[in-house]
Each structure stands twice: as C-alpha cells, then as structure tokens.
Chain A
Amino acid sequence: EVQLVESGGGLVKPGGSLRLSCAASGFTFSSYSMNWVRQAPGKGLEWVSSISSSSSYIYYADSVKGRFTISRDNAKNSLYLQMNSLRAEDTAVYYCATKGYSYGYHFDYWGQGTLVTVSS
C-alpha cells in the first residue's frame, strides 16, 4: 500500500524558515517524480514544486521561486521542501503527491498534508 506521510509543519514568523518532509513507502520511490501541492485555508489547490526521480529536473511555481527548495533522498525514500523567507500567504496545508505513471503529468497518490502557519 502506498503511503505518504508529511511532517515538519507548524507555526513560524514571517521571514522565517521551515523544512517539510514526506516519508514514502509501499512503492519504488526512486522511480517516481514527486510533488508538493498546497491549499490555503478556504482556498483551492495550488501546485508548488516538482522534482524528477533522479533530481535532474526541478520546477517551481512563480509564487515560491527563489524562496523554496525541493529535494529528495532516494536512499531514505524521502521528499523535502525547504521554505525560506516565509510570508503570511504561504500559510496552507502542504501535501506531497506522486506523479502518476502516464504521458503528460498528473498527481496520483497523496499524503494527508501538514499545516504551515506563518504569523507573528
């Protein structure tokens, strides 16, 4: 059974930093691209960042480019999101998700999310 478990969320002041983790199990983590998707309170889903299986290709939404860094450790079956210079508008539940096995791009399996609150 595929499992994705996010951790590392919490309360942080504006301008602060936080590192999210996503522990994966039940599939061959090193073979799949991975993603972070977020959802602000009462708002819709927003794609944040994606990383290919070998970390060769990395993409960011304009809203986080230059502040967030996605990475992965295939030996530890883990995905990370380093978030710096946090703003109030980064407050959201952050989900990690696998890329589905198909042409194009879609999200397949999802974690339950971790809440990040940016507030003074």
Chain B
Amino acid sequence: QTVVTQEPSFSVSPGGTVTLTCGLSSGSVSTSYYPSWYQQTPGQAPRTLIYSTNTRSSGVPDRFSGSILGNKAALTITGAQADDESDYYCVLYMGSGSFVVFGGGTKLTVL
C-alpha cells in the first residue's frame, strides 16, 4: 500500500519562509508523480495551489512555489502571512494502480 508522508505540523513566523515536504514511504518522489498541493482552512473546500510539481494554479500568489528537493516534493511559502495558516495537502499521481494518493496533510501555524 502506497503511503504519502507529510509533516503533521509546522510553524513559521510572519514574513518567514517555510518548506513543507511530501514523500513516499517507499521510494523517491519525482516529477513523474506530478505532485500537486492544496490549501484548506477549517470548514472550507480545498484550494488548488500547485500542480505538475511547480505550476501555480490561477490566482495563486508567487509566494507559493513547488519543487523537488532530494527525494521529496516540496511546497515553499516565502513571506508567510497570517492567512497562510491552513492545512496543506499534497497529492501524488500513481498511475493505474492506486491512481492518486493524498498525503496526511500538514497543519501550518503562523506565529
């Protein structure tokens, strides 16, 4: 069974930079998994931030960027703002087997 791993929680100071990661329990994440990232605040639907590793979705500020760092996908937020305090989820495309798998999510605190 494919398990996608994310840090359960992270904190960042206002104006600071934070990098959240998305890995595999077995193996490395590459661009072939087309990693995508989603932001969700409590009680709201998810919002798409990044897809295909590093493409920002329409309307997403360039403070959000995606990449591959080592053997993981990464979401970097530069100049963190109070309203960036949210849950962040990554998704990996596994192909016809597991198809797509969500990571467990990272709760980001801005303080």
Contacts and interface: CB of A to CB of B under 8 A. Distances in A.
Interface string B33-51: 1101010100001111001
A105 B34 contact: yes
A44 to B, nearest CB: 4
B81 interface: no
Contact of A47 (B48, B52, B102): B102
Which of B36, B91, B100, B103 has the most chain A CB atoms inside 10 A of its CB? Answer: B100
Given A110-B47, A111-B45, A47 B100 contact: yes
Given A45-B105, A50-B100, A59-B99, A106 B48 contact: yes
Nearest to B51: A106
A100 interface: yes
A109 B48 CA distance: 7
Contact of B99 (A45, A47, A109): A47
Interface residues of A, number: 23
B64 interface: no
A13 B109 CA distance: 38
B57 A108 contact: yes
Interface string A49-90: 010000000010100000000000000000000000000000
A109 to B, nearest CB: 8
A113 B40 contact: no
A58 B34 CA distance: 20
Contacts of B52: 102-104, 106
22 contacts: A44-B102, A44-B104, A45-B102, A45-B105, A46-B102, A50-B100, A95-B45, A97-B46, A102-B34, A102-B52, A103-B52, A104-B34, A105-B93, A106-B36, A106-B51, A106-B93, A107-B36, A107-B91, A109-B48, A110-B46, A111-B45, A113-B45
Given A59-B99, A104-B33, A106-B52, 17 more contacts: A45-B40, A45-B46, A45-B102, A47-B101, A50-B99, A95-B45, A100-B48, A102-B52, A102-B55, A103-B52, A104-B34, A104-B52, A104-B93, A106-B34, A107-B36, A107-B46, A113-B45
